Amino acid sequence: MSGFWQRFSKIIQLTFITLVLWAIFDVVAALMFYSMVLLFLIIRHIRHRAALDRWLQTSELDASTIPHGSGTWGDLFASLARFVRSHSQSQQRLSLALQRMQNATSAMPEGIVILDEVNRIEWCNPMAAQHLGIVLAVDTGQQITYLVRELQFVDYLSTRDYSNPLVLKQSRHNKLILSLQLVPYGVKQKLLISRDITRFENIETMRRDFIANISHELRTPLTVIVGFLEILSDEKKPKAEMYKQALALMSEQAMRMQRLIEDLLILSRLESAQHLVSDKCVDVVQMLNAIYHEAKSLSGGRHQIKLNLTSDAQLSGSQDELRSAFSNLVSNAIRYTPDGGEVTINWAIQNGQGLFSVQDSGIGIDPKHIPRLTERFYRVDSSRSRETGGTGLGLAIVKHVLNRHQAQLQIESKAGKGSRFEVWFPGKRLINKSSSAL
Binding footprint of ligand ADP on the chain (CB under 6 A): 328, 332-333, 336, 360, 362-365, 373, 378-381, 385, 390-396, 419
d(CA 332, CA 360): 9
- Smallest distance from ligand ADP to CB 358, Å: 7
Pairing state between β 430-431 and 314-317: antiparallel
Nearer to ligand ADP, 18 or 357 (CB): 357
Smallest distance, ligand ADP to C-beta of residue 216, A: 14
The closest alpha carbon to 378, from 392, 368, 367, belongs to 392
Q: Which is nearer to ligand ADP, 7 or 369 (CB)?
A: 369
Residue 231 C-beta: closest distance to ligand ADP, Å: 29
String of DSSP letters for 408-420: EEEEEEETTTEEE
Between 311 and 419, whose beta carbon lies closer to ligand ADP? Answer: 419
The minimum distance between CB 257 and ligand ADP, in angstroms, equals: 14
For ligand ADP, the closer CB: 154 or 218: 218
DSSP string, 375-408: STT--SSHHHHHHTT--S-HHHHHHHHHHHTT-E
CB of 259 to ligand ADP, least distance (A): 9
328 vs 346 by CB, closer to ligand ADP: 328
How many CA atoms lie within 13 Å of 271's alpha carbon, on the beta-carbon side? 9
CB of 329 to ligand ADP, least distance (A): 7
Helices (H), 59-70: none
Residues 6+ apart with CB under 8 A from 142: 120, 121
* Shortest distance (Å) from residue 385 CB to ligand ADP: 3
Which CB sits closer to ligand ADP, 69 or 341?
341
Length of the chain: 438
SS3 sequence of 139-166: HCCCEHHHHCCCHHHHHHHHHCCCCCCE
Question: Residue 111 or residue 362: which is nearer to ligand ADP going by CB?
Answer: 362
CB of 377 vs ligand ADP, minimal distance in Å: 8
Burial of residue 428, with CB atoms counted within 10 A of its CB: 0-12 exposed, 13-18 middle, 19 or more buried: exposed
Nearer to ligand ADP, 177 or 393 (CB): 393
Q: Which residues contact 390 (CB under 8 A, 6 or more apart)?
A: 332, 335, 379, 384
